[in-house]
Amino acid sequence: MTPSRRRVSRIVAWILTLAGVWALGYWAATVLGSRLYQAAKGREFSRALRVKAADAAPPRGEAKASSLAEGSAIGRLSIPRLGLSTIVVEGAGEHDLDVAVGHIPGTSLPGEAGNTGIAGHRDTFFRPLRFVRTNDVISLTTSSGEYQYRVVSTEIVTPDDVRVLYPTKTEVLTLVTCYPFFFVGPAPRRFIVRAQRLGPSARVEQRS
């Protein structure tokens, strides 16, 4: 190899090293930022639950989606079998989904009749959904109580297939994430998990 080629190779190697360091630093900062956000919102949500438990319970359905500020913590979603647990915030914008999973505006809130839509990124909080199975139990805890759902189906749709978020007569939970899970770049499909609310007796009020 000539000296000029060796020099070019060293420059290319240096550039690639810098790019790798930058990418690793960006990933670490993103992960750390989302974890700090989750911890902060988790504490905020826990305080809200304690305050709610200390006060007289307001009439059911008092909170409306239109009255919730974007980015505010509205609950915690968990799927025990998958080890998935994450804060749910109001809104499904890019910033919201970078740090949590988001309640999709225009869909019902947990505890209301209809279809509750929650979106999350496939490469962060909703990555465990690739292992979801029929009959898995999903728990959604809000300041009004704990609501449990049982997974009834999964499907893969196109991004413009909004029928999955249409209103329903019964209480339904719809989880939305991108698909395929390991696709490089913007994913061309959406992975949908549909779950039915368990009976009213499954609702557990928060206690102090």
Predicted confidence (pLDDT) per residue in 57-95, tens digit: 444 444 565 568 898 999 999 999 999 999 999 999 998
pLDDT at 204 over 60: no
DSSP states of 68-108? SPTT-EEEEEEEGGGTEEEEEEE--SHHHHHHSEEEPTTSP
Q: What is the domain extent for residue 104?
A: 54-202
- Summary mean pLDDT of the chain: 81
Nearest Cα to Cα of residue 103 among 165, 160, 58: 165
Q: Is residue 2 part of a domain?
A: no
Q: Is residue 7 part of a domain?
A: no
Encode pLDDT of 112-142 as tens digits: 999 999 999 999 999 999 999 999 999 999 9
Contact 198, 185 (CB under 8 A): no
Q: Is residue 49 part of a domain?
A: no
> Around Cβ 117, how many Cβ atoms within 10 Å?
23
Encode pLDDT of 176-201 as tens digits: 999 999 998 889 999 999 999 997 64
CA 97 – CA 89 distance, rounded (Å) = 9
CA 59 – CA 63 distance, rounded (Å) = 9
pLDDT at 146 over 90: yes
Tell me what the mean pLDDT of segment 137-156 comes to.
Answer: 95
The torsion defined by the Cα of 124, 128, 129 and 131, in degrees rounded to 10, comes to: 150
Which pLDDT score, from 0 to 100, does residue 58 have?
44
CATH no. for residue 142? 2.40.260.10
Contact 136, 173 (CB under 8 A): no
pLDDT at 39 over 90: no
pLDDT at 174 over 80: yes
How many folded domains does the chain comprise?
Answer: 1
- Beta-strand runs (E) in 92-171: 101-103, 115-119, 137-142, 145-157
Q: Is residue 25 part of a domain?
A: no
Q: Is residue 100 part of a domain?
A: yes
Q: Is residue 167 part of a domain?
A: yes
Residues in the chain, overall count: 208
Q: Is residue 40 part of a domain?
A: no
Q: Is residue 84 part of a domain?
A: yes
